[in-house]
Amino acid sequence: MSNRGKKILKMEKSEPVKLWKLTQLFVISSLAATFAFTLVFFLTNWVALYFAYDFNIPGHFDLNGLVFDTEKAGDLWTFDATVTILLSKPVSALLMAVVSLAAFMFIKRKLISFFFFLFWMNVLSFNLALGGLVDDAIMGSGTYDVLMLMKMNLTAVVLSSLIISYLLYRVGMINYFVVWASFPKNYLNNWQARSVFLMIAIVLPWLLLFTFPSFDSESHYSLSNFLKNVSVLVILLPLFIVKPKDAFFSHLEILNHPQKFDWLNLGLFALGTFLLYYFMVDGVYLS
C-alpha cells in the first residue's frame, strides 16, 4: 500500500463519527427492528394457528397473541396436536432465524436498511425460538407443556436452558463479526467509538422494543415479557466483549452511508408494520 493510501486509511480509522450519521443509523435500525418484530410475531402466530386448524382446534391471534377456543385439557388436544401446535411457533421462528442469519452473513452487498432488517430478523427470531424456550421453562407454559408430555425431568430442562444460552451467545458472536466487517473502522476501532455506535444503532432500538415488549398494554411489564426480552442480551453481549477479527467475513462490502433506496425501504417498513398491525387489530382467523 502506498504512503498516501496508508494515510487515508489511518484518517478513516481515527476520524470520529458525526452525530448526524449515528442519528440516521438509529432511525433506520429502529424502524427495521419494529418491522422485524411485527413480522416475526405475525408469521409465527399464523403458523401455529394453521397447525391448530389442521387438528380442528379453533382459535385466532390478535395483538395479544394466540388464543384457542378450547381448553388444552379437552379431547381435541391429543399428544400429537399438543406437540405440533406448541412447537410450531419456535420451529418456524428458528427457520426464519437461520435463513435471515445466512443472508446476513453471505450477501456481499447490502443496503444499510436491509442490513439492519436482517440483523433484527435473525436476533429476534433466534430469541423467540431459543430464548422463548427458556422463558417457557421458567414460567411453566407453552413448550414446557411439551417437555412434560415427553416426561423430561428438571435436570434435562436446566441443561437444555444452559445449552440454549450458549447457542444464543454464539449467534451474537457471528452477528458481531458481520457488524465489524460491514462498517468503517472509525465506528468500531476503539472501545469508546464502538460503545457509542452499538448503543445508538443497536441497544437503543432494542430498548424501544423492550419498552413495548408486546402489543397488549396490560402485559407490558409481566415477568414473561421481561424474560423474553432479557434473553436478547445474551445475543447482544458479544458485541461489547468479543475481540473482533478482520479475517471473518472479509467478502462483505463496507456500509458507508445510507442511500436513497434506504429511505424508500424505511417507508416500506413503516407501511408493512402498519398493515400487519391493522390485520391483527380485529384478530386473524383461518376458515
Q: What is the pLDDT along the chain (287 residues), one digit of tens a residue?
A: 444 444 434 444 556 667 888 899 999 999 999 999 999 999 999 999 999 898 888 888 888 888 888 777 667 888 888 888 888 888 899 999 999 999 999 999 999 999 999 999 999 999 888 766 655 554 445 555 655 555 666 676 677 778 877 888 889 899 989 998 898 888 877 788 888 899 999 999 998 887 764 544 444 445 556 656 677 888 888 888 877 665 577 788 888 888 889 999 999 999 999 999 999 988 888 86
What is the distance of C-alpha 84 from the center of its chain? 23
pLDDT of the residue at 12? 46
In a domain, 193, yes or no: yes
- Which long-range contacts (C-beta less than 8 Å, at least 24 apart) are formed by 69-75? 72/145
In this prediction, residue 85 carries a pLDDT of: 85
Task: Give the separation between CA 269 and CA 34, rounded to whole angstroms.
Answer: 8
14 within a domain of the structure (yes/no):
no
E strands, 55-212, where? 59-62, 65-68
Does residue 212 fall inside a structural domain?
yes
C-alpha cell at 114: 436491509
At residue 269, the pLDDT reads 96
Residue 12 in any domain: the answer is: no
**For residue 122, what are the domain limits?**
25-281
Residue 286 included in any domain: no
Q: Evaluate whether residue 93 is within a structural domain.
A: yes
pLDDT of 149: 59
pLDDT of residue 240: 82
The answer to whether the Cα torsion of 143, 220, 45, 51 is positive or negative is positive
**Is the residue at 71 inside a domain?**
yes
Q: What is the pLDDT of residue 277?
A: 92
Strand partners, 62: 65
Check residue 7 and give its pLDDT.
41
Query: How high is the pLDDT of residue 117?
Result: 97
Q: What is the pTM of this model?
A: 0.85
Give me the number of domains the chain comprises.
Answer: 1
135: enclosing H helix or E strand: helix 132-139
Of 108, 112, 65, residue with least CA distance to 225? 65
What is the model's pLDDT at position 178?
92
Residue 3 has a pLDDT of 45
